[in-house]
Structure 1
Amino acid sequence: MKIQTKYLGELEIDDAKRIQFPAGLPGFGEDKEFVLLDFPENPVFQLLQSVMTQSVAFVVTTPYNFYQGYTFDLDDSILESLQIENERDVAVFSIVTLSNPFEQSTLNLKAPVILNWKNRQGKQYILNTDEYESKAPIAPSAVTNGKGE
């Protein structure tokens, strides 16, 4: 299937790579199917692109590239809704807010995107803690410990 992407133009995607977000993403509830695309020039970042809406795309990264001490527990409701049976099937991403200069870009550690690779289901999970910020610094110099404090 061909889709129009926000940053990478028209791409052919494999239907098997679609990720279902049954509840959509907060603020984008109409978009329930996404695909995770690589940026050819920077493998640290990926694009979570809506299959239906070209303008709905999020730059994401694994938060562990920047915050090695980032940890949280998934509650029973998300384990059940995403049918998570094994930790190995789970991937965690943070949405990146890009800024110029890049060092002022931020990661949303407060609301990670959780994916179950096994069944291709996803959900943005809002953590019930003040330990992590929705605009955590991406620049390594701004990170003083594993949690960005």
Structure 2
Amino acid sequence: MPPSQPDPQDDETVGAALTGGDESTLPQEPHEAASSSRLSVRRESGGRLPPRLELHLAGELDADTAHALREHLAVLAAHSAGGLLVLDLSGITFCDYPGLYTLLSIHRTLPLAGIDVQFTRASGVLRATAERAGLTTQLALGDAS
């Protein structure tokens, strides 16, 4: 089954969160959006300064699902004027090398668009894969879950 496309309405809300848009446009409850049937992304944003958006990833981050995540974050970056993106990786149950390199790409490229990226609570599965690939230091995975 091909990955679903991100909802443009969601991306406008995400953009408002990172650019410090009117707080009334921000969701009051966490918002759920499925990037694919095997990887889900739950968003939480709020009226913090600097603007901050938290994405909680759950499921499989692999060659098939990484593409949808990259597209989703590219749209987010296009609608953003900066802020902090926190990726909570505690829900990752499987990760292959393309998934790791997707995280590395996110970590290196979003700051070029003015979006700082922080990884938190990496799952044991993700940490083990990063160690095997020798990417633990480059990914800056944050505290363990």
Q: TM-score range by the shorter chain?
A: under 0.3
TM superposition score normalised by structure 1: 0.26
TM superposition score normalised by structure 2: 0.27
Higher-Rg member (1/2): 1
